[in-house]
Amino acid sequence: MLVSIIAALVLAQSVAPSSTPTVTPTATPPVSITPELAVLPAKWPQIAGAAGEDISGVVKKGTTIYKWSEGHNFTEGPACAPDGRVYFTDIPGNQVMQVDAMGARIALKDSKGMNGLYFAKDGTLYGCQGNPGAIVAIDVVKNETRIVCDKRSPIGETGVSLGRLNDLVIDDDNGIWFTAPVIGGVRAKRAPDSVYYVPTTGGEAIEVIAPGEMRAPNGVHLSPDGKTLYVLPYSTRAMMAYPIEGPGKLGAGKLFYEIPAGTRETIGGDGLTVDTQGNVYITVPARSAIYVLSPQGKPLGEIRLPERPSNCALGGKDGKTLWITASTGVYAIDVEHARAR
């Protein structure tokens, strides 16, 4: 499976000069190249390890974990384009990067602390900008961003600037659900950590959970049917699931999963993704692992990594490669089910 992805990445690299990274989300996916015809650099990908246990219906013990890029400051926000290309952010490096057969190339300079990334159905790449806080649409061809939302409407207020944004997901109605935690530093004069909603057409973000309901909401994703919003906090161990009652409207949240105590740090998770079967993959930095959960929130197993993972996304040519950003590197492992969204 990864051989096909490698071939597709080589082909994608040959489409445009390396000085002009491109993305063509609405184009026909690249045709596959047979392994015999694929000429690859010696360095990438590197074998970084293997799955240490069988996770039924998800991954087999011994499945190879590949490293695709290294030497970054802090990687985050993996996002997989419809054509198979993979993007991620280097937050301190202030860049959006694209994975290719040479490791990674710069897709957007001066990203203003970009964190989470996500592709809408129409192929537009959206991101959570950190400084100043904004949801932006990204044009990696022109090296430009367009502000979609940089104001919010907390209860009783309007036109208040957003804080540092973290992660996002886009629903079938082109609504963006995103998190705005306060992790470290001095709290700005703004509402407490919260989760927000704004349509891709723009406007002021709506606060969708009560102020202070969750400490440091971080990762966010949707169930395969789009009816449930998962929110994974960083500073507590309780991952929540909220029923979606309409655009920008959530029902009462319920505990979906509680990360066990006894990890090296008393903190929660970071990022997450979901496959077509409803299995949820969450990154747990303190364990240097991906925890895999059933659709009911039952633990199925874990995938250990050489570095502390920050986020993950399913993608690649058939959607069955789990891409993982982890500290200074980017990793990938094949799984049995494709991305749900």
By residue count, the chain amounts to: 341
Q: What is the pLDDT of residue 13?
A: 43
Instruction: Round the average pLDDT of the chain to a whole number and report it.
Output: 85
Q: Pairing relation of β-strands 205-207 and 299-304?
A: unpaired
Q: What is the pLDDT of residue 156?
A: 57
**pLDDT band for position 33 (50/70/90)?**
very low
Residue 323 pLDDT > 50: yes
Residue 334 pLDDT > 60: yes
pLDDT tens, residue by residue, 141-186: 898 999 999 988 765 566 778 888 999 999 999 999 999 986 554 4
CA torsion angle for 137, 310, 283, 322 (degrees, to 10)? 60
Distance of CA 321 to the CA centre of its chain: 13
Nearest-5° Cα angle at 121, 99 to 284: 55
Query: What is the rounded distance in angstroms from the CA atom of residue 341 to the CA atom of residue 22?
Result: 22
Helix (H, G, I), strand (E, B) or coil at 318: coil
Residue 94 pLDDT > 50: yes
Among 16-20, 94-98, 147-151, 306-310, the least confident range = 16-20
Query: What is the rounded distance in angstroms from the CA atom of residue 231 to the CA atom of residue 217?
Result: 6
Q: What is the pLDDT of residue 151?
A: 85
DSSP per-residue letters across 22-51: ---TTSPPPPP--TTT----SSSSEEEEE-
Cross-sheet strand order for the sheet of 272-274: 272-274, 280-284, 289-293, 299-304
**pLDDT band for position 18 (50/70/90)?**
very low
Domains of the chain: 2-334 (2.120.10.30)
Question: What does each C-alpha distance from 311 to 29, 157, 273, 299, 332 come to in angstroms?
Answer: 25, 32, 8, 18, 12
pLDDT tens, residue by residue, 276-307: 999 999 999 999 999 999 999 999 999 999 99
CB burial string 19-53: b at 16+ within 10 A, e below: eebebbeeeebbeebeeeebeeeeebbeebbebee
Q: Give the mean pLDDT of 218-229.
A: 98
Residue 212 pLDDT > 90: no
Phi/psi-derived region of residue 78, left when phi > 0, alpha when psi is between -120 and 50, beta in every other case: beta
Look-up of token digits 């979901």: 274
Q: Give the mean pLDDT of 313-332.
A: 96
pLDDT tens, residue by residue, 37-80: 234 444 779 999 999 999 999 999 999 999 999 999 999 999 99
Among 65-69, 153-157, 232-236, 243-247, the least confident range = 153-157
DSSP H helical ranges for the chain: 2-15
